[in-house]
Chains A and B, each alone.
Chain A
Amino acid sequence: MSFLNKIFSRKKVEHSVSLESMFVDMHSHLIPGVDDGSNSDE
C-alpha cells in the first residue's frame, strides 16, 4: 500500500444505518401508567 493510500484509508466515513431495517420494534415500554415506561424521567 502506498503512503498516500495509508493516509486516505484512515479517513473512513462512518455511515449510519436506518432502524427501518429492524422493521418491527418488539420490545418497548410505551403504554402510560402500567409500568416504568413512557415518562420523561431519565
Chain B
Amino acid sequence: MTGLTLMNDTILLIQGLSRLGIKHFITTPHIMRDIYPNVGSNLLAEGEKVKQELKNRGVDVTFQVAAEYYLDDHFMGLLSKRDLLTFGDNYVLFELSFMQEPPILQEAIFEMQSAGYKPILAHPERYLYYHNSFEVYENLHKQGVFLQLNLNSLAGQYSPHVKKTSEKLIECQLISFLGSDCHHLGHIALSEQVLSNPYLKDLISSDNLLNHTLIQ
C-alpha cells in the first residue's frame, strides 16, 4: 500500500466521521516501544502532513496530535522526563495490557498526577479482567482517573461482555470521555449504527461528558 493511498484513507476516514457530526479531532497514535516505536516529534511532523492535506482538500475540521500510551516501563521513562504528548488541560491518554492489570498501574497514576498530568484510561470496558471487579472502575474514578469509552463498544464491536460493561459504566456515571478509537473505514458504518443506542443518548445528554472542554 502506498503512502498516498494511506493518506487518502485518512482523509476518507475524517470525512466519514465528519458526516456523523464530528468536526474536531485529536488523533492518538499508539506509542508502544516494541510494536509502534513512535516518538512525539515524528508524530507531530506526520500530523502536520495530514493537516496540510486536509487544508488542500478543503476539509473543514480541526486536527491535533497526541498519543495513546501503552503503560509499560517505556512509558514510565517518558513520564519521568515529562516527555508526553498531552491535549486539553494536560490530559494524557493511556491504555493497559489486555491480558492482565499491569503491576505498575498505581505507581503510574501517582506519578502522572504528581507531575500535573490528568490521566485518561482508554477503553476501560475492554479490559476483561475488570469485568467481574467493577469496583476497580469506581476506585479509578474516585482517584481522579478519567474513563474513556469507545463509541463502538456500544455497538458490540468487541464482544457482548464488553457491550454490557459499557452500558453499566454509563449507568453508573463513570464515563467522562467518549472516543471513536477509529482505525479504519469499517469503523464509520459501526459508529453510524450506534447513533440510536439509548445508552449513548443517555451519556450524551448527561453532564458527565467532558469532550466539549477540549476545543482549542
Q: Which A residues contact B (CB, under 8 angstroms)? A: 14-42
Interface residues of B in 148-163 (CB under 8 A from A): 148, 150-151
Also in contact, A34 and B3, with CB within 8 A (given A18-B20, A27-B28): no
How many residues on B have C-beta within 8 angstroms of the other chain's C-beta atoms? 64
- Listed by A's residue number, 27 A-B pairs whose Cβ atoms lie within 8 Å are A17-B196, A17-B200, A19-B151, A20-B21, A22-B209, A22-B212, A23-B24, A24-B211, A24-B215, A25-B182, A25-B211, A26-B28, A26-B148, A27-B26, A27-B123, A27-B180, A27-B181, A29-B28, A29-B30, A30-B50, A31-B47, A31-B65, A33-B46, A34-B42, A37-B183, A38-B6, A38-B13
Is B142's CB within 8 Å of the partner chain A?
A: no
**A-contact bits for B159-198, CB 8 A (1 contact / 0 none):** 0000000000000000001111111111000010001101
Set of chain A residues within 8 Å of B212, measured between Cβ atoms? 22-24
Q: Are B181 and A14 interface neighbours, CB within 8 A?
A: no
CB pair A28–B185 under 8 Å, yes or no, is no
Q: Which residues of B contact A (CB under 8 A)?
A: 1, 3, 6-7, 9-10, 13-14, 17, 20-30, 36, 38, 42-43, 46-47, 50, 63, 65-66, 68, 87-88, 91, 93, 120, 122-123, 148, 150-151, 177-186, 191, 195-196, 198, 200-201, 204-205, 209, 211-212, 214-215
Residues of A within 8 A of B66 (CB): 26
Measured CB to CB, the closest approach of chain B to A28, in angstroms, equals 5
Supposing A14-B196, A17-B200 touch, asked if A25 and B30 sit within 8 A by C-beta, the answer is: no
Q: A17: which of B14, B46, B195 is its contact (CB, 8 Å)? A: B195
Pairwise interchain contact B10-A32, C-beta atoms closer than 8 A: yes
In the docked arrangement, what's the CA distance between A31 and B6, Å? 9
Contact B24 A24 (CB under 8 A): yes
**Distance in angstroms between the alpha carbons of A39 and B5 in the assembled complex:** 8
Query: Residue of A at shortest CB range from B198?
Result: A14
Q: Shortest Cβ distance from A23 into chain B, in angstroms?
A: 4
Interface of B is mostly: mixed
Do B214 and A24 touch across chains, with their CB atoms under 8 A apart?
yes
In the complex, which residue of chain A has the Cβ closest to the Cβ of B179?
A27
Contacts of A19 on B, CB cut-off 8 Å?
Answer: 17, 20-22, 151, 191, 195
Inter-chain contact A34/B122, CB cutoff 8 Å: no
